């Protein structure tokens, strides 16, 4: 059978059979592989094209697409490539490589050397022995940011995440928090007379005025409850000393009482939360304030998770856990 005039003569090359010519239907793309390279073969009237078989957008199989006029259209997002040249009409810079082919003794032949050269220059990312390996995304883009995440879940379920699924440390952008400069103090005029510049202003706050042991803070702020584990020992102790120097207190957070933190602050708040880590009523006696956390304040409705790899010997001891054991805080008291 005669070659198509556009098809280079490959008599001197290493011919490899792709398929029988009679298997091809007019304008119906067929996929084949040679040495792991995907090809798409298109017969159109008396012509034949053998093109690289993966879409240049995200790597879909072009054999899964369809022919529309002079183009083969990818079945995923409709990228188009000319069937005669492989060049995209939409963007001429994108072109599926066209391989030399010929028909001999009823078979479609290609040149194995050309295929291997192409493979050398364009290593293929498809590991077909792997689950979903056939569908590797050759060009991941942030327009579809969850593709690889969905594939990872399809492949491994929650094995690599833990039963809570993906979790990350909490955090709020500084710019989205209220700022001190947003506070407007109502100016005093007549009903409350303004103070003169040299008059002293007390910032003292008393918590539990009628309690047996009221707690007095020199300023109306204290260091709130971040647990040992979410913060390092160094940070906890430094904050405790800083609070003490400022005349105010610090709260243990839900991660138990870090002895050095408690010892460095005389206005210590000791917290009981749903995780009850290392909690004991004996330790309450060492504190100046008992802090009860009924729900997860910053983590509304979700509870907390300190991953096992962060639970060191020391954190484990304070929290009454085993080293390496994840610390799970329930979303409410059980």
| Residue closer to ligand FES, measured from CB, 74 or 83 | 74
Q: Which CB atom, from 30 or from 237, has the smaller least distance to ligand FES?
A: 30
Q: Are 266 and 289 in contact (CB under 8 A)?
A: no
Q: In the bound complex, what is the minimum distance in angstroms from residue 60's beta carbon to ligand FES?
A: 4
Choose the stretch contacting ligand FES; rule: CB under 6 A; options: 70-78, 152-160, 315-323, 324-332. 70-78
By CB under 6 A, which span of 18-26, 71-79, 209-217, 238-246 interacts with ligand FES? 71-79
With tokens 């929650």, the residue in question is: 158
Spatial distance between the Cα atoms of 312 and 258, rounded to a whole number of angstroms: 13
Can residue 55 be called a binding residue for ligand FES (CB under 6 A)? yes
Nearer to ligand FES, 93 or 192 (CB): 93
Distance (Å, rounded) from C-alpha 316 to C-alpha 308?
A: 10
Q: How many helices (H) and strands (E) does the chain have?
A: 6, 17
Part of the chain binding ligand FES (CB under 6 A), chosen from 76-84, 179-187, 229-237, 287-295: 76-84
Q: How far is the CB of 295 from ligand FES (least distance, A)?
A: 46
The two three-digit tokens of residue 235, written as one number:
């940070």
Cα separation, 245 vs 238, in Å, equals: 11
72 binds ligand FES (CB under 6 A): no
- Residue 81 or residue 222: which is nearer to ligand FES going by CB? 81
Q: Which is nearer to ligand FES, 32 or 57 (CB)?
A: 57
Q: How far apart are the first and last CA of the chain?
A: 81
- Give min distance, CB of 92 to ligand FES, in A: 16
Q: Does 17 bind ligand FES (CB under 6 A)?
A: no
The SS3 of residue 228 is strand
Tell the smallest beta-carbon distance from residue 55 to ligand FES (Å): 3
Sign of CA dihedral 156, 159, 164, 170: negative
Q: How far is the CB of 148 from ligand FES (least distance, A)?
A: 15
DSSP structure string for 3-29: PPTTSPP-TTS-EEEEEEGGGPPBT--
Q: Is 136 in the site for ligand FES (CB under 6 A)?
A: no
Shortest spacing between CB 8 and ligand FES, in angstroms: 27
Q: According to the binding rule CB under 6 A, does residue 74 interact with ligand FES?
A: yes
* Dist CA 304 CA 320 (whole Å): 17
CB of 34 to ligand FES, least distance (A): 21
Spatial contact of 270 and 250, defined as CB atoms under 8 Å apart: no
Joined together, the tokens standing for residue 255 give 């991660």
Q: How many residues bind ligand FES (CB under 6 A)?
A: 9
Among 29, 34, 40, 79, interactor with ligand FES by CB under 6 A: 79
Q: Minimal distance in Å, beta carbon 96 to ligand FES? A: 11
Check residue 268 for interaction with ligand FES (CB under 6 A): no
- Burial letters for 177-211: b for 16+ Cβ neighbours within 10 Å, e otherwise? eeeeeeeeeeeeeeeeeeeeeeeeeeeeeeeeeee
Residues found near ligand FES in the complex (CB under 6 A): 55, 57-58, 60, 74, 76-79
């Amino acid at each position: 059978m005669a070659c198509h005039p556009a098809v280079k003569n490959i008599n001197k090359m290493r011919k490899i059979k792709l398929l029988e010519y009679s298997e091809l239907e007019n304008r119906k793309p067929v996929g084949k592989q040679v040495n792991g390279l995907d090809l798409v073969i298109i017969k159109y009237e008396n012509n034949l094209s053998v093109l690289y078989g993966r879409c240049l957008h995200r790597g879909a199989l072009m054999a899964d697409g369809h022919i529309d006029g002079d183009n083969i259209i990818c079945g995923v997002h409709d990228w188009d490539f000319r069937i005669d040249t492989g060049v995209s009409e939409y963007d001429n810079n994108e072109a599926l490589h066209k391989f030399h082919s010929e028909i001999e003794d009823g078979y479609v032949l290609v040149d194995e050397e050309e295929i291997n050269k192409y493979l050398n220059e364009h290593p293929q990312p498809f590991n077909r022995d792997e689950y979903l390996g056939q569908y590797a995304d050759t060009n991941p883009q942030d327009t579809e940011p969850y593709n690889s995440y969905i594939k990872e879940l399809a492949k491994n379920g929650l094995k690599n995440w833990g039963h809570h699924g993906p979790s990350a440390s909490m955090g709020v952008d500084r710019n989205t928090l209220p700022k001190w400069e947003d506070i407007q103090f109502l100016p005093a005029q007549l009903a409350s007379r303004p103070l003169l510049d040299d008059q002293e202003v007390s910032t003292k706050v008393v918590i539990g005025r009628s309690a047996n042991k009221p707690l007095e803070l020199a300023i109306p702020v204290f260091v709130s409850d971040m647990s040992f584990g979410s913060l390092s020992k160094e940070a906890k102790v430094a904050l405790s000393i800083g609070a003490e120097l400022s005349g105010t207190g610090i709260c243990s957070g839900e991660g138990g009482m870090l002895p050095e933190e408690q010892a460095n602050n005389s206005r210590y708040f000791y917290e009981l939360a749903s995780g009850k880590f290392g909690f004991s009523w004996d330790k309450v006696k060492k504190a100046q304030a008992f802090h009860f956390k009924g729900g997860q304040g910053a983590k509304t409705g979700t509870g907390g998770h300190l991953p096992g790899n962060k639970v060191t010997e020391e954190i484990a001891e304070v929290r009454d856990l085993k080293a390496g054991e994840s610390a799970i805080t329930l979303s409410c008291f059980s």
